Amino acid sequence: MSDPASDPSSDTVDVLYRHALAAYDQNDLAAAVPLFEQVLAVSPAHVEARYKLGNACKEQGHWDAAMAHYREVLRLSPRHAEAMNNLGAVCQMRGSSGEAEDWYRQALRARPALTQPHVNLGRLLQSAGRHAEARDVYDAALAQGGDAGLFGHLRDAATTTPSDTASARAPEAYVRETFDAFAGDFDRHLQDDLGYRVPAQLVELLHRHSADCAGAAMDVLDLGCGTGLVGDALGSTARSLVGVDLSGRMLEAARRKGRYAALHQADITAWLAAAGTGTADCVIAADVFIYLGELEAIFREVQRCLRPGGGFAFSVESCEGDGYRLLSSGRYAQSPAYVERLGAHGGFGLLAREAVFIRQGVEGLLYLFQRR
């Protein structure tokens, strides 16, 4: 192939841009970024290349660069609602909630039917305890023809009291988009800002009970593996490690760490239902059941996939009663009575239950069950 950068014709720009976009769509940011930069070197006013480069910077946690690109997009194209929304998201990541709110509202004025600023603004308001305003945002989204499953779920979460009549799980598109947008900064933000240690805590729990479980050389299944923090915590303990997640960008971060034998982009319930019987020694789900209220199918399929004596280690945010609740945070919590009933009726023995802080200010429980 000839070097398109040496010929600054519009054809060349198109070819470069297509290459850049293909790399970006495959989550290969290391290849995409220099290609977008080449497009811009030839054609500095290329709005979409500038916007995508801003996204790539945002996904890598390069906030200053991302903001500079989005501001340039808005200079060139003042009604670019996606750039406004993403500028808001960067402000929010940096803790500037007021500015973030402003940008989300500007994005909605520019494109009232755009999904993401409704989601972002509603969640921002919810996290500030402004539940009625958040509900207004979701109602506006629904009135604009927004996705009923998505905005119904968020609206349920924005009720002021925990709801146990809500939907049984978060919509897939919502999970995917949330974590795709978050992947670049996930490890740093969770571990450094929020003191998140659940993967290491679950692995410690397994090691403490390894004599009761399947022993050191385990075939491990990591449900909702995200960026692969469970793989980091396991180190070389696992004989094989397979990860499943909905978010392509989270999976790409896990892939770069090189610890997983296989990574699958799928919903964990659907993936488990098609997985082989008696193929795993250990199933781990770190901070994932906050996106699934109901766990019946998960317990059933995990029991089937585990070999006898295998371990099932996971965390939950816990609640009162005998069931699960959708909290105003938009996350689910499961009660000990519910989890332990599913375990006892599902062919598991309870090996350990420990109270922990899941992340800053959020209490929860770690569980280790053993398949009978």
Ligand X SMILES: C[S@@+](CC[C@H](N)C(=O)[O-])C[C@H]1O[C@@H](n2cnc3c(N)ncnc32)[C@H](O)[C@@H]1O
Which residues form the interface with ligand X (CB under 6 A)? 175, 179, 198-199, 224-226, 229-230, 244-247, 250, 267-268, 286-288, 291-292
Taking the complex as a whole, the smallest distance from the CB of residue 210 to ligand X amounts, in Å, to 20
Please say which residue, 140 or 168, places its beta carbon nearer to ligand X: 168
Based on its alpha-carbon atoms, the radius of gyration of the chain, rounded to whole angstroms, reads 22
CA angle 83, 35, 73 (to 5 degrees): 20
Residue 174 burial class via C-beta count within 10 angstroms: exposed 0-12, middle 13-18, buried 19 and up = buried
Please say which residue, 70 or 369, places its beta carbon nearer to ligand X: 369
Please say which residue, 176 or 371, places its beta carbon nearer to ligand X: 176
Please say which residue, 24 or 182, places its beta carbon nearer to ligand X: 182
Residues 6+ apart with CB under 8 A from 118: 108, 137, 138, 140, 141, 144, 146, 151
Question: What are the backbone dihedrals phi and psi of residue 345, each rounded to the nearest 5 degrees, phi first?
Answer: -80, -15
DSSP per-residue codes, 116-172: HHHHHHHHHHHHTT-HHHHHHHHHHHHHTT--HHHHHHHHHHTSSS-BSSS-SB--H
Taking the complex as a whole, the smallest distance from the CB of residue 9 to ligand X amounts, in Å, to 41
Taking the complex as a whole, the smallest distance from the CB of residue 348 to ligand X amounts, in Å, to 20
Taking the complex as a whole, the smallest distance from the CB of residue 359 to ligand X amounts, in Å, to 9
Taking the complex as a whole, the smallest distance from the CB of residue 229 to ligand X amounts, in Å, to 4
Taking the complex as a whole, the smallest distance from the CB of residue 200 to ligand X amounts, in Å, to 10
Please say which residue, 72 or 317, places its beta carbon nearer to ligand X: 317
Helices (H), the chain: 10-25, 29-42, 47-59, 63-76, 81-93, 97-110, 115-127, 131-143, 148-157, 172-182, 186-188, 198-208, 229-234, 248-257, 268-274, 296-305, 336-345
- Give the nearest residue (CB) to ligand X: 226
Taking the complex as a whole, the smallest distance from the CB of residue 196 to ligand X amounts, in Å, to 7
Please say which residue, 74 or 202, places its beta carbon nearer to ligand X: 202
Q: CA separation (Å) from 341 to 145, 226, 327, 337?
A: 40, 28, 21, 6
Counted residue by residue, the chain has a size of 372
Taking the complex as a whole, the smallest distance from the CB of residue 55 to ligand X amounts, in Å, to 18
Angle between helices 115-127 and 148-157 (to 10 degrees): 10
CA angle 148, 249, 327 (to 5 degrees): 45
CA angle 176, 50, 91 (to 5 degrees): 60
Q: CA separation (Å) from 329 to 120, 129, 291?
A: 13, 9, 11
Please say which residue, 40 or 250, places its beta carbon nearer to ligand X: 250
Strand partners, 163: 326
Taking the complex as a whole, the smallest distance from the CB of residue 330 to ligand X amounts, in Å, to 12
Question: What are the backbone dihedrals phi and psi of residue 252, each rounded to the nearest 5 degrees, phi first?
Answer: -65, -40
Please say which residue, 33 or 181, places its beta carbon nearer to ligand X: 181
Please say which residue, 185 or 245, places its beta carbon nearer to ligand X: 245
Taking the complex as a whole, the smallest distance from the CB of residue 190 to ligand X amounts, in Å, to 7
Please say which residue, 230 or 283, places its beta carbon nearer to ligand X: 230
